[in-house]
Amino acid sequence: MGIRALAVGLGFSITGLGAAHAAPCRLDQVQLRNDLTEVSFNIELADSQPERSRGLMFREHLPRNSGMLFVFERPQRVAFWMKNTLIPLDMIFIDKTGTITLVHEGAIPGNETPIPGGDSVFAVLEINTGLARRYGISKGTVLRHKVFSKGPAIWPC
């Protein structure tokens, strides 16, 4: 099975570079790209303090092509933990330009050890564990979403 067929079967969109430029930005989707691939995830947006505090806690399942994008009012030092989180996650820390600064793979459900993201985190994308590695999502990968278009976005809407 080719990678495109595998991606479609998993519910992801993986395209050649440049194809996603034509797609409109949506509040419920984030696009990621690097030199190897482009991939998109359906997301829930957590952009208020109560939404960020609850996050993905108490959920037993996260659809494979889904995630949650936590957005802060300004870039800041953040640390996440997995208290009351039942599913293993990859945490992707992002700066104001939409560039990934750190990927923490395989956060352990229920673990209360803080996972620091750095000093200038503007957003954090949480996805099912293993997907960052599978799709080559790493430091330097850029994201496209409306929240990054309010500043010096690398890949604006």
- Per-residue pLDDT of 106-152, as tens digits, reads 999 999 999 999 999 999 999 999 999 999 999 999 999 999 988 78
What CATH number labels 29-148? Answer: 2.60.120.1140
**Contacts with 55 (C-beta within 8 Å, 6 or more apart), sequence order:** 46, 68, 70, 80, 85, 126
Give the pLDDT mean for 78-102.
98
Task: Tell me how far the alpha carbon of residue 38 is from its chain's centroid.
Answer: 13
Evaluated on CA atoms 65, 92, 57, 122, the torsion sign reads: negative
Q: Of how many residues is the chain composed?
A: 157
Q: How confident is the model at residue 11 (pLDDT cuts 50, 70, 90)?
A: very low
User: Model pTM?
Assistant: 0.86
Evaluated on CA atoms 41, 44, 45, 46, the torsion sign reads: negative
For the chain, domain boundaries:
29-148
Evaluated on CA atoms 127, 130, 132, 138, the torsion sign reads: positive
Question: E-strand spans in 10-99?
Answer: 13-14, 29-33, 38-46, 66-80, 89-94
